Structure 1
Amino acid sequence: MARFEDEDLTDAEFRECDLTGARLVGVVMQDAVIDGLVTNLVVNGVEVTSYVEAELDRRHPVRTLMRSDDPADLREAGRQLRAGWAATVARLRGMDGGMEHQGVGGEWSAVETLRHLVFVHDSWFRRCCLGSTQPFTAIGLATDFVPDQEEQGLDPAAAPDLDEVLVVREEQAAELEQWLAVVTAEELSAPAPVPDGPGWPPYAAGKTVLQCLHVVLNEEWAHHGFCVRDLDLLQGSPLTG
């Protein structure tokens, strides 16, 4: 167990770290930012996760639709998520040239974020919800911990521009929309038809189609929020809620 005592961690950054069970006792934490999978967080004796989740739902009502098991709710969630990205893409087109390739604080640029969602669609929707065995789209962008990326079809040298990525995104969005238009509650509750053999994600076996779809929708929502946050910073605008 790592132990830090009387350490100055001012402006420290923890990225892709597992802090499960961490205890911070007698600390000074001002102007701190926590962004990630946070559950059962107790601050000064108060479990605050439920408050945070309720506030996020209030600010972003689409989240309740995303968690639903009702196909009609999921269709509406998909529509709202697509509309949100359309507005952000329009914003990108109105920004100074090249800003779509600029990241903030080590985060992905807007184009890289969109490329990651191409990968999410291929892996969590096509592979897990549809049972596809086709290679992933070459311009998709996976996180570093995903193994065997080239073997799965990804091109590490890919450097597409915004328009190239948007062509793929439109095709994928139409595919998801058409599927959601006809999928039934029974089909959603069925085991995910994940193909046998290696491939990302390796831990999808045993999940339902609905659980895999929830990952897709949550990734769309979360990464859109990250993108908007960083575009605000790039343009010097106040952070949106």
Structure 2
Amino acid sequence: MSYNEVYQFSIVSALMDGVASHGVPISRILAHGDHGLGTFRYMDGEMIVLDGQCYAMKHDGSVIHIADPSAVLTPFATVTRFKPTIETRAAVKGKQDFTRLLNGLFPKARNHFLVVRIDGVFAKVVVRTAGGQIRPREGMVDVCSRQTTHNFEKVKGAVVGFRCPEYIMGVNVAGDHFHFIAEDRQRGGHILEFETDGEVNVKAAQIATFHMDLPTEDDEFNEAELKLQAQGIKQVEG
């Protein structure tokens, strides 16, 4: 794939319907991108792909580097081969403040994807991590009802994620979707809220090309209704 093209395996609506027992090796995902996010088999933990390395952020707050990506499966992931087209420094007071910043940097990107990376010191980061399914085909709303939240203060690290246009809801998560990992690679998760400690480095690019592979030979996917559950997605994605 070329730089700044989205590659995605499966769809968010499949996770909502509990399609998470199978998937593809992480190595297949990394062949398409070096920057992104997703989850793992049975929705056990939050995925972040940073500089071509994949990390699993677990329910107990620990982080595991996926040293052998061919041996670990993902039922859903979104990545790109990231090459920023805009780089700036900014202080960010929260998710809404960052939304306004992105709107200003990309005023004509309402109906396109954006890929984002933030590096620096954060005054506060609130994340959640999911503990995985406890029964086959348990949906994401139920899985995330047992999520654990973690609060980090004065922590240096990186934020990775995407902004997806509204029409993509159900295929992916419409709006801003970010994961955080600390510089020491020991803490992280799906971002619920964050605030920077002064200015941080912001890198981003607009994306107009989207590639998607769907699961094959997967009974769960074939039998799932895959109806749009917009409110449920908004609830679990924060």
TM-score of the aligned structures, taking structure 1 as reference length: 0.23
Greater percentage in helix: 1
> If you compute each CA radius of gyration, which structure gives the higher value, 1 or 2?
1
Greater percentage in strand: 2
